[in-house]
Amino acid sequence: MTEHAAPAGRREVLNFINGRYERSSEGKTFAGVSPATGAPIAVIHEAGRADVDAAVQAARAALKGPWGKMPVAERMALLHKVADGIQKRFDEFVEAECLDTGKPRETCRHVDIPRGAANFRIFADLFKNVPTEAFVMDTPTGGQALNYATRSPRGVIAVVCPWNLPLMLMTWKVGPALAAGNTVVVKPSEETPLTASLLGEVMNEAGIPPGVYNVVNGFGPDSAGAFLTEHQGVNGITFTGETRTGEVIMRAAAKGLRPVSFELGGKNPALIFADANLDEAIPDIIRATFINCGQVCLGTERIYVERPLFDEFVARMKAATEKQKVGPPDEPGVTMGPLISLEHREKVLSYYKLAVEEGATVVIGGGVPQMPAELANGAWVEPTIWTGLPHEARVNREEIFGPCCHIAPFDTEEEAVRLANDTAYGLTAVVYTRDLARAHRVANQMEVGICWVNSWFLRDLRTPFGGAKHSGIGREGGIHSLEFYTELRNICIRY
Ligand code: NAD
């Protein structure tokens, strides 16, 4: 790859280091591609080892500079200004996210970008009001001692992000990290670097000191991701992405014993009991399966329905899926964009093929939709539903991360719980029932980080968020984010 300026109509995406936009010091660039059309949309500057080192050094220096010395109230006010800045440039963020991901503009407007701003406000407001613990103790020699705990920022945080909800998931980590007084070096996904880059301008406009927020672009192995997570100037690594990548990053983190916070993959179940209100359940499960073209870690790929309701549930899911409209961000009525890339489509289509080989009945979908000529090179797939697979089928066990689900019947509550939990993952579960006692009983048996009852993706940002088993390490959200982004210190004063 050689250095070149962006051709007309394409954005040039630079690294953001110490408050300035910087070209790749090695002159390396790569192309950003529209998932909707396959056309090149950006020239992205890849950060080499030296660029990553410059970003980490800038972040280290900022800890000791004005940011580190800033009164808490002032720091939090600046984070509100960052949120204001996102709101002010709302349309630019929407445009950038639509371009990078191909998702419907309405989704960007109502979900991704508002959450980007909210992630700064919530943690700025929350952290300044969190109390600390204090214990008075009797000492062995008479007299007493007061113990109290204080929190310090952990230091430089590496933030490694996926492509499915770029601004939303990146700020979900940057918001609390900065609110707790840390500095960050962000490695956005190579597929979706635009909004992280744009946020640099907002940081400068808000008056965030240079070096507090840095962005390095590139890939994972032997590129910016690996250089950043291996860097010994990084004090903690927060990562959202695939479970396998988490294993690699954990090995990098072992050197220097740096703590990690991981939000990883899922193969999430939904349990629909015979007393469920289907008028509510169907739209929720349709969203949980197809929103963002099924590329949501919290989404549902395995649905278990109590046998008396099974046929009706499948028929109504099919009817609702027929109403899904696949298309580009601005087409009226579109509910589903493309997958993120042709490469990811290969993976999803390989599961569509495998499902048939494993014996599935295809209820709907299973292929590639007919698209107009100008969209022919986009990463389109049909929303897909299967039935009839054995529980052990790979399609029922592996995360596909596409707009598809398998629906199976169950006969007893015990069986439903067993099927739901029989997976390596443990991110979310959904339970639909009108029986309150069962709701509590079943929810408490789900081996997951988040269980929704009679709802999906109802998010209160003050609550713990994360996964059990192979779906993550640690929890973020609310005060739980403080656990990762700060170091607790106990002070014991004898008097
Ligand atoms: P991915 O693991 O391929 O990539 C994520 C990030 O890690 C990218 O920025 C990538 O460049 C970087 N990376 C890859 N290899 C690396 C390495 N060796 N060292 C350092 N960095 C490396 O994930 P993805 O395909 O971008 O995202 C989809 C996955 O993310 C799915 O598995 C999904 O379930 C998961 N996800 C989880 C959550 C959650 O909250 N639990 C949220 C969103 C997505």
- Enumerate the active-site residues: 263, 297
Q: Give the whole-angstrom CA distance, residue 442 versus residue 436.
A: 10
Over residues 214-225, the pLDDT tens digits come to 999 999 999 999
Q: Which secondary structure element, helix H or strand E, spans residue 487, and what is its range?
A: strand 486-494
189 CA distance to ligand 1 middle (Å): 8
242 CA distance to ligand 1 middle (Å): 4
Band of residue 7 on the pLDDT scale cut at 50, 70, 90:
confident
> Could you tell me if the CB of 21 is within 6 A of ligand 1?
no
> Could you tell me if the CB of 301 is within 6 A of ligand 1?
no
CB within 8 A of 152, min separation 6: which ones? 181, 486, 487, 489
Band of residue 6 on the pLDDT scale cut at 50, 70, 90:
confident
Nearest Cα residue to 90 out of 55, 129, 118, 64: 118
Average pLDDT, the chain: 97
β-sheet bridge partners, residue 364: 385
**Domains along the chain with CATH numbers:** 7-264+472-494 (3.40.605.10), 268-460 (3.40.309.10)
Q: Which secondary structure element, helix H or strand E, spans residue 162, and what is its range?
A: none
> Could you tell me if the CB of 297 is within 6 A of ligand 1?
yes
Over residues 315-346, the pLDDT tens digits come to 999 999 999 999 999 999 999 999 999 999 99
399 CA distance to ligand 1 middle (Å): 13
Do the beta carbons of residue 472 and residue 312 sit within 8 Å? no
Query: What's the whole-model pTM score?
Result: 0.97
pLDDT of residue 10: 86
Q: Give the whole-angstrom CA distance, residue 333 versus residue 368.
A: 19
pLDDT of residue 5: 59
72, amino acid identity: V
One DSSP character per residue, 49-60 reads HHHHHHHHHHHH
Pairing of strands 468-469, 425-426: antiparallel
For the stretch 307-314, contacts whose Cβ atoms lie closer than 8 Å and that sit 24 or more positions apart, written own/partner, are 307/274, 307/409, 307/410, 307/411, 308/274, 309/272, 309/273, 309/274, 309/276, 309/278, 310/407, 310/409, 312/278, 313/272, 313/278, 313/281, 313/282, 313/407, 314/363, 314/385, 314/387, 314/407
Place of tokens 């790929």: 301
Over residues 394-431, the pLDDT tens digits come to 999 999 999 999 999 999 999 999 999 999 999 999 99
> Could you tell me if the CB of 236 is within 6 A of ligand 1?
no
Do the beta carbons of residue 13 and residue 45 sit within 8 Å? yes
Q: Name the closest-CA residue to atom 43, ligand 1.
A: 297
